[in-house]
Amino acid sequence: MRKIDQQIRGKLHGIELLLLACSAGGFKVLFDILKALPGNLAIGVLVIIHRNAKYETNIEVSMTAKCDIPIKVAEEKELIKPPMVYFAPPGYHLLVEPDHSISLDISEPVNFCRPSIDVTMQSVADVYGPSTIAILLSGANQDGAQGMTAIQQAGGVCIVQDPECAEIKTMPEAAIALGAVDIILTNEELVTFCKELNKHILTRN
C-alpha cells in the first residue's frame, strides 16, 4: 500500500460517505472492494454501475452472500445509513437530498448513461462536500470525470484505479486528465485501502 500523505490522511478523518463507481471492466475490482469492506463500516456506501435496465442482473443478491457488509438496491426516500451499501437501480439516476435521503430520477441519460456517475457525484458533492470519498474504476467513457472534479472542489477525497490496472482505461484517465484525483491506487491497494477504511476514518494517525 503506497503511503497516503498527511494532508489526505487528515481529510479522511470525519468522512461520512463512500461512493464507488464503474462501468465496463470494473465489476471484478468492485466486487473485491465490497468483499473487503468491514461489516461494521462506520459510513454509508453508494455504488453507481452502468448496466442495462432491460436485463435483470441480480448483482446485489450475488454479492450479499459473499460480503460482510449488507448490500441492497437503493429505494426512493431511503435514508443513507451505515453500515449499508446502496446500489443505484438500473434505469435511474441516483441523487442525494439535503437530509441524506435517496432520490431516484428518470430524467434524460447523461453521457448516454442512466444511472450517470456524474449526476450522483455532483449531488453528493453538494450535500456531503468534504465528507466524501469517491473511487472511480474502469470504464469505457468519461462519465465520472466531471463528478470527481465537483467532489474535489467540495473538499472530498478523489481516488482512481491505476489505469495500468484497469481493464478499460478511459474512465480513470479522464479524471486524471482533469486533475481531479488525489490518489491513484492499484487493484490490490484499493482493496487494502477499503479493508482498512474504518482505521482511516476513525483515527487521526
Helix (H/G/I), strand (E/B), else coil: 159: strand
Q: Which single residue is written with the C-alpha cell 444511472?
A: 115
Residue 120, helix vs strand vs coil? helix
DSSP state at residue 83: S
- Marked catalytic residue, from 116, 143, 182, 200: 143
CB 44 within 8 A of CB 17: yes
Task: Specify whether 50 is catalytic.
Answer: yes
Q: How far is CA 2 from CA 40, 88, 164, 187, 189, in A?
A: 25, 31, 16, 12, 7
∠61-17-36 over CA atoms, to 5°?
Answer: 50
Tell me how far apart the alpha carbons of residues 190 and 178 are, in angstroms, rounded to a whole number: 21
The catalytically annotated residue of 50, 93, 116, 118 is: 50
C-alpha cell belonging to residue 189: 491497494
Residues tagged active-site: 23, 50, 143
